Structure 1
Amino acid sequence: MHKFEDFNLDKNLLKAIKNMGYEKPSEVQENVIPLVLKDEDVIVKSQTGSGKTAAFAIPIIENIDIEKNAVQALILTPTRELAVQINEDFGSLGLYKKIKSVPVFGKQPVSLQKTQLKQRVHVVVGTPGRTLDHIESGNLDLSEVKYLVIDEADEMLNMGFIEQVESIICKIHTERQTLMFSATLAEEIKVLIKKHMKNPKIVEIEAKTLTVDKINQVYYEIAEDRKFGLLRDLVKINDINQCIVFCRTKKNVAEVYTKMKGRGYSVCELHGDMQQSDRLDTLKQFKNGEFTFIVATDVAARGIDMSGVTHVINYDIPLELEAYVHRIGRTGRAGRKGEAITFVTPYEEKFLEAIEEFINMNITKAIRPTKEEIEKIPEKQIKTVVKKTTVGSDVIKVYIAGGKRKKIRRGDIVGTIINSCNVPADSIGIIDIFDNYSYVDILNGYGKDVIKNKELPIKGKPMSISKARE
């Protein structure tokens, strides 16, 4: 088994990998990363597995030229949920190399995506239809693309996207490197491979059988905007010792954590952008029983290994099959019976079916308790935290009340922050400059030193600054 250091990766990338909680490469990462670093086209034939995104994101981030103001990698996914998750992973892994990634998908304003694509963007993650729209309207320039990733090709085929995928492929120069991930290789996909890939190396990962028989598993059909109400009801009716609430993205972790904290729950949060020391402190406090609930992403929760967890709630159903097993395996430890509850929105039933096939068992559908049933249950005493703990984030996004119309450039912002706030240059991350305002990511815990200033002199003029709203 390799270590990530064995791949001779950039120190900033290694720092991000460590910060995300990866300790050693998974099987798919160990097989795929060296091939991508050798400029090989690669086909990965496997069930959706743990760590797949990092298998292509790590070598792509390693080789991206951050000084080049051009899209250098295009990732195609069948669903917007997967696009958001992959984009967030690129953001976390590329944080210290200052890699900028943008998601493009339907049901989001084209104008917003157009504005984002005008910034310095290195990676675009998109669904085929919306990606093609941006290409044809001139918003997305593919002339500098070095990497094309086709993720879940079999699902693309099932959803009728293969023609759109091929149209996009034909618009990218042939000197690119192409990576394809698919559980199966149907004839139509083989034709695509033959036409558009160069002597691809094939990596086949066998699905592992993982046991979940000591865990009582149920799911609830629930609309997205009613999830938190259901969570609140389930907390009331269940006898919870400690519970992990899993979300797919850092944004969702922040939203659920804020809502739970606002209602007085004993809760902490865990995500990949936290400093490792903060994450370890949080895990230690949770293990010591200082918190009843922890809201976490999959990657950040790798270190949760304790016997006190009685419940796992999949607030967002995982898109990777092995991630489901890894999540619910956090309960039912030390011979105890665990409870795993999954929220499934109407458009996510296919993910539930895939999970049931993967674990070779049906998950019981549960009925939401009625208002009358909830009201009959006496209010439980909400456990409060004895020790007040503030968990700092490694990254703070700062808002600056000035942009292109005031002729502000990246160098102006960098120079001001270095000179006025004593922040090292390598702790200034991605900068986005819009017409009337700008955003800058401040890394390594220096954000608090910047936002304590109400104004900063940029180009000789005082401009108000503040912590950006989520």
Structure 2
Amino acid sequence: MNNKFESLKLNKDILKALYNLGYNSPSKVQSEVIPRLLRYENIIVKSKTGSGKTASFAIPICETVEVDNNNLQALIVVPTRELALQVKEEISNIGRLKKIRCSAIFGKQPMKDQIKELKQRVHIVVATPGRIIDHISRGTINLESIRYFIIDEADKMLKKGFVEDMEFIFNSIPKNSIKGLFSATIDKDIKNICLEYMKDAEMVEVKNENLLNNKQISEKTVKVEDKKKYDTLKNIIYSQAPVSVMIFCNTKETVTKLYKNLKEDRFLVTELHGDMSQDKRNFTIKDFKNGKFNILVSTDVAGRGIHIDDISLVINFNVPRDKENYIHRIGRTGRKKSFGKSITMVNQKDEKYMEEIEHYIGYKIEDLDDIKKEDIALGKAKFEENNKKVLKNRKNRNEEKKVHSEVTRLYLNAGKKKKIRVIDIVGALNSIEGINNEDIGVIEVQDLCSYVDILNHKGEIILKKYKEISVKKKMVKIKKDNR
């Protein structure tokens, strides 16, 4: 285990989880932020995308959560549904061995399901602004015991139009809660909020970093006429021969058109935009993460919501109209200590927007060298060979990589409709020889079924001995959950 994480004197289950997750050493932002949040200091953090800031607030929050306390203890507000799910996943993984329960709540989910979930023991909530305000207004969430309040992607959250929402949330949380604000940039809107609600906050700026790390991300532009754009895009993909690529467009219509064209040309491509259902968006992101496709065409809905460490190329098919979105788009590559490339396609109308972006980031982006025919031919052969590997491995990538090998997630075919409660499941599992409270992790009781984490490698033992167990004098079937 890394000495630096150990020196923070973290809970043994948090340290074990970090080890399982591959956190070998704290990133710069983590080294700066974790000790401060553990000391209950209000902070404003300026750090580039992909720097590891989610873990920088997730680790101290998980460390200080009192697991036996049924009250909500931390609230994290994020701008998009995708990011809410990503942050929830990271927090859940860090806190899983400590038995911490984290929920993501956002719009276009049934309110009644969220209310039911919030009535169970939930320690941490990750939410989008509109939906958390709905719950506050309805009185369906209790914020009285909030110890930490985090605003992630504050440059998006505190734009005009969102400021009133954020002020409402600030006024709804306990005055003595610890506040953390995280942003890639600090502008006037953020400063105004900080002056009003975070007067004693310490500014933490990760030194020696521009908005983007030029050594990790090679940025280029390509001047192109609209009528030649699609052919140029294909030539870029072939000549670069990336393992994986994200292509950003400004509208849903452009995404769908480009997706159809690429699919017709037999690229392994999928699409992502706001008109898709949340379930479809979730499955799309999961499939792309698991390597079932190597090209994702997306609107800016993915600019802040996808954390994949090995995206090798980002292409801006359209120049973003919001200069900050450029930062977040190309920040999908070159994450952590990996290297990446970004190429932005620029037509005559885009030039003024490109100038704004260059002024914003503080340097000129060079043009890509002319793409040679031999590079296209060689790259195409390499890219198509990679496609064969993707198709071959699809069957083996149906499951995401297991993070905690000592944890087995069980499915029980009984829930609230059969009057089953968490305490009933705990009692049933404790009656099994060799199982005690230390081996029982997070329990989720839904209407028709329940899910239980069994820790300490005890899950496989249960599954070998039992196909069903008695819960509240009802025989309940159990099996491994492979979600």
TM-score by length of 2: 0.67
User: Could you report, residue by residue, the CA deviation over 1:275-301 in whole angstroms, capped at 9, with x for unpaired residues?
Assistant: xxxxxxxxxxxxxxxxxxxxx9646x7
Deviation at 1:59, TM superposition (A): 0.6
Within 1, Cα distance between the matches of 2:329 and 2:414?
Answer: 41
User: Could you report, residue by residue, the CA deviation over 1:226-245 in whole angstroms, capped at 9, with x for unpaired residues?
Assistant: 69x85993359xxxxxxxxx
Within 2, Cα distance between the matches of 1:31 and 1:442?
Answer: 34
Within 2, Cα distance between the matches of 1:439 and 1:355?
Answer: 50
Conserved 8 A contact 1:64-1:72 = yes
Does structure 1 residue 209 correspond to structure 2 residue 214?
Answer: yes
Within 1, Cα distance between the matches of 2:35 and 2:49?
Answer: 20
Q: Which residue of 1 aligns with 2:335?
A: 326
Within 2, Cα distance between the matches of 1:451 and 1:252?
Answer: 31
Does structure 1 residue 47 correspond to structure 2 residue 48?
Answer: yes
Conserved 8 A contact 2:150-2:181 = yes
Aligned counterparts, 1:64-463, within 5 A = 64-158=65-159, 160-206=161-207, 207=209, 208-213=213-218, 216=240, 219-220=246-247, 221=249, 222-223=255-256, 230=263, 233-234=266-267, 255=287, 260=292, 298=308, 312=312, 324-326=333-335, 329=338, 361=365, 394=405, 395-420=407-432, 422-423=434-435, 425-452=437-464, 453-463=466-476
Deviation at 1:74, TM superposition (A): 0.7
Give the partner amino acid of 2:121. R
Deviation at 1:148, TM superposition (A): 0.5
Deviation at 1:426, TM superposition (A): 3.0
Within 2, Cα distance between the matches of 1:154 and 1:187?
Answer: 10
Conserved 8 A contact 1:16-1:93 = yes
Within 2, Cα distance between the matches of 1:85 and 1:356?
Answer: 31
User: Could you report, residue by residue, the CA deviation over 1:137-158 in whole angstroms, capped at 9, with x for unpaired residues?
Assistant: 1221111111111112221123
Within 2, Cα distance between the matches of 1:5 and 1:232?
Answer: 52
User: Could you report, residue by residue, the CA deviation over 1:21-68 in whole angstroms, capped at 9, with x for unpaired residues?
Assistant: 111111111011111111111111233341101111111111111111
Deviation at 1:160, TM superposition (A): 2.0
Q: Using a 3 Å threshold, how does the CA distance of structure 1 residues 328 and 144 change in structure 2: closer, same or farther?
A: closer
Deviation at 1:17, TM superposition (A): 1.0
Conserved 8 A contact 1:253-1:297 = no
Q: Which residue of 2 aligns with 1:370?
A: none
Q: Using a 3 Å threshold, how does the CA distance of structure 1 residues 466 and 38 change in structure 2: closer, same or farther?
A: same
Give the partner amino acid of 2:424. D
RMSD of aligned C-alpha atoms?
Answer: 4.5
Q: Percent identity?
A: 36
Higher mean alpha-carbon deviation, 404-413 vs 202-211, is at 404-413
Deviation at 1:399, TM superposition (A): 2.0
Conserved 8 A contact 2:216-2:337 = no
Deviation at 1:469, TM superposition (A): 6.3
Within 2, Cα distance between the matches of 1:341 and 1:187?
Answer: 30
Higher mean alpha-carbon deviation, 154-163 vs 407-416, is at 407-416
Q: 3-state DSSP class of the match of 1:234? A: coil
Conserved 8 A contact 2:314-2:330 = no
Q: 3-state DSSP class of the match of 2:452? A: strand
Q: Which residue of 1 aligns with 2:232?
A: none
User: Could you report, residue by residue, the CA deviation over 1:272-327 in whole angstroms, capped at 9, with x for unpaired residues?
Assistant: xxxxxxxxxxxxxxxxxxxxxxxx9646x7xxxxxxxxx94779x99586551138
Deviation at 1:260, TM superposition (A): 4.1
Q: Using a 3 Å threshold, how does the CA distance of structure 1 residues 435 and 329 change in structure 2: closer, same or farther?
A: closer
Within 2, Cα distance between the matches of 1:459 and 1:69?
Answer: 23
Give the partner amino acid of 1:180. L
Unaligned runs of at least 5 residues, structure 2 = 221-239, 250-254, 270-280, 295-305, 316-324, 345-352, 372-379
Q: 3-state DSSP class of the match of 1:422? A: coil
Conserved 8 A contact 2:46-2:204 = yes
Within 1, Cα distance between the matches of 2:440 and 2:264?
Answer: 38
Conserved 8 A contact 1:46-1:181 = yes
Q: Which residue of 1 aligns with 2:21?
A: 20
Give the partner amino acid of 1:48. T
Within 1, Cα distance between the matches of 2:8 and 2:48?
Answer: 25
Unaligned runs of at least 5 residues, structure 1 = 237-248, 266-295, 302-310, 332-338, 343-349, 367-372
Q: Using a 3 Å threshold, how does the CA distance of structure 1 residues 84 and 463 change in structure 2: closer, same or farther?
A: same
Conserved 8 A contact 1:50-1:320 = no
Q: 3-state DSSP class of the match of 2:200? A: coil
Within 1, Cα distance between the matches of 2:357 and 2:89?
Answer: 23
User: Could you report, residue by residue, the CA deviation over 1:156-210 in whole angstroms, capped at 9, with x for unpaired residues?
Assistant: 1236211101101101121111111123333332232122225111111142432
User: Could you report, residue by residue, the CA deviation over 1:385-414 in whole angstroms, capped at 9, with x for unpaired residues?
Assistant: 8xx999766343322222345443333323
Within 1, Cα distance between the matches of 2:69 and 2:257?
Answer: 39
Q: Using a 3 Å threshold, how does the CA distance of structure 1 residues 141 and 234 change in structure 2: closer, same or farther?
A: same
Within 2, Cα distance between the matches of 1:258 and 1:189?
Answer: 36
Conserved 8 A contact 2:5-2:15 = yes
User: Could you report, residue by residue, the CA deviation over 1:409-434 in whole angstroms, capped at 9, with x for unpaired residues?
Assistant: 33332343244363453332111123
Within 1, Cα distance between the matches of 2:160 and 2:443?
Answer: 37
Within 2, Cα distance between the matches of 1:154 and 1:381?
Answer: 41
Deviation at 1:112, TM superposition (A): 2.6
Conserved 8 A contact 1:9-1:62 = yes
Q: Using a 3 Å threshold, how does the CA distance of structure 1 residues 198 and 442 change in structure 2: closer, same or farther?
A: farther
Give the partner amino acid of 2:333. Y
Q: Which residue of 2 aligns with 1:369?
A: none
Q: Using a 3 Å threshold, how does the CA distance of structure 1 residues 203 and 439 change in structure 2: closer, same or farther?
A: same
Within 2, Cα distance between the matches of 1:52 and 1:429?
Answer: 26
Q: 3-state DSSP class of the match of 2:71? A: coil
Q: Using a 3 Å threshold, how does the CA distance of structure 1 residues 355 and 419 change in structure 2: closer, same or farther?
A: farther
